[in-house]
A and B are shown apart, each in its own frame.
Chain A
Amino acid sequence: ELKLVQKDEL
């Protein structure tokens, strides 16, 4: 299962 990187950039 791919864990998505949290998108902390704008």
Chain B
Amino acid sequence: MNLFRLAGDLSHLLAIIILLIKIWKTRSCAGLSGKSQILFALVYITRYLDLVTTYISLYNSFMKVIFISTSLATIYLMYSKFRATYDKNHDSFRIEFLIIPCVILSLVINSNFTVLEVLWTFSIYLESVAILPQLFLVSKTGEAESITSHYLFALGSYRALYILNWIYRYYAEGHYELIAIFAGCVQTILYCDFFYLYVTKVLKGKKLQLPA
């Protein structure tokens, strides 16, 4: 565990907390993509199956349980409790266009052809693109509430911090995982446009509004 890794995990946790607070306090999930949340739940469930096979540390198991349970809670809030506020018409990204290529890619490019390993690889690939329905929703409505922008910023920062962690681990421990590094870079690049808007607009007190 190094500082970048810890900061990345905390940023990830913060993103999830911001999201739940936003939904709970405003009693609304307007502006949020339920499809991205379904993809994230799928990511955590397929990645953390090793919860039952391998014990790494209390920290590791605790975070895995938190990520799985909070993502399921978010889906429950969006699709059941606050369903009336869910922006279904704007959330029209076709997630099968992301899931199917990730399934194929994980079957072809993986480090070991076993069930757990292929599912882990699938989750890494899927995570890198899971935010696309949310970014698509923002671009479709042309704006995002500040709290949604903070959520996206924390979520995007998490993988960017992981990249620093991977660089550190490569030099300090000789440890590297090419699949995760490649997908993590793709994931971070997808946020770049948003990061730019966040720094130039939201941090200056303006609403995140896309140019017409």
B64 lies within 8 A of chain A by Cβ: yes
Q: Is the interface of B mostly helix, strand, loop or mixed?
A: helix
Partner of A10, one of B54, B63, B112, B175: B63
Contact (Cβ within 8 A) A7 B50: yes
Partner of B112, one of A2, A6, A8, A9: A2
Contact (Cβ within 8 A) B111 A10: no
Contact (Cβ within 8 A) B177 A5: yes
Contacts A2-B111, A2-B112, A4-B111 known; A9 to B117 CB distance under 8 Å? no
Contacts A4-B111, A4-B112 known; A9 to B120 CB distance under 8 Å? no
Minimum C-beta distance from A9 to chain B (A): 7
Q: Is the interface of A mostly helix, strand, loop or mixed?
A: loop
- Enumerate B46-76 residues with CB–CB distance to A below 8 Å: 50, 54, 56-57, 60, 63-64, 67
Instruction: Enumerate chain A interface residues (CB-CB to B < 8 A).
Output: 2, 4-10
Instruction: Enumerate chain B interface residues (CB-CB to A < 8 A).
Output: 5, 9, 12, 50, 54, 56-57, 60, 63-64, 67, 111-112, 117, 120, 162, 165, 175, 177, 180
